Structure 1
């Protein structure tokens, strides 16, 4: 475009001041008493008001943050407990090898869920019914899904996948007596069957099913 073009005079370039004014109008006024400048910065309102923020200008958000203390009003013991719980995300914990019910925290968690209105989201008590069934079921009934070799070992003992520890032990003793070579005149086939039974039982024992 030539400098003496008639279109050159119609071009208008916005000033930096105008752009700054437009940006200021997008922000609320600073909530610091007596300020009123545009407030593009947020500052948390404090403990117990999570998710709520003040709107401050740059100078007053710095002043607010410098004096901000989340633990204001808490004792030293409460601050220590909070910091300790923060390491686990404020979730209940227990020692390795024991679940929440063993330490009594499971019942407290259930009561806490009820106190916070959890039942309002479970109108048909589906979760409560499942929890009750899990507590009433014997440990063997809640056994994990079996692996292929575990199923094969149970088949070798002529037992179903739902067999309990006592049933496995009882069947093992029964089959050992039945297929022992001394009880079968030294039959080699009985010896092979007995070896298979013993291997199956040892595998189930190693897998924790006996």
Structure 2
């Protein structure tokens, strides 16, 4: 082929210049949160949260805050009836069919003078409020209140993270950190003789620990 028709590349040596400090700082500013914004609750995400999702079916009034992609990922995996038996599912569906709404007591306001006077007379056996056998609780000692359960209220992310670390839901911070160190040593190639078959488990362990740290449990 004549030399005039041969391909001659214009640039032979293509080198990539590392970013300067000003350029690197500008890239970091892309993820900087503006006043009033909050960070996404997904571990490792640095973008601003714009959507919320309930933590679990038992904590519908408590929410995670996610960016749009992580909110879509969380909602795709959301199952309100997960872990429930067929009987429990039918019962919840029946409750939803009739409204599934809380009820309120039909009594006067605590600021009502008439209500306060009636309660006082009833409790002390005043005129017109005799209850000698304590059928309505007048004069009876109040029943001891049961101690509140100390079980923590955990969302879906926290429960899944504890499961990935093979821990119970009542695990405390020291136990979480100890199990994290143990699993990292067991699954990291630098600690297990170069075995890379557990790298997927290692990624799940690291993500689980970041989730628990973000929730201030570890």
**Fold conserved (TM > 0.5)?**
no
Rg larger for? 1
TM-score (norm 1): 0.35
Higher RCO structure, 1 or 2 (CA under 8 Å, sep 6+):
2
TM-score (norm 2): 0.34
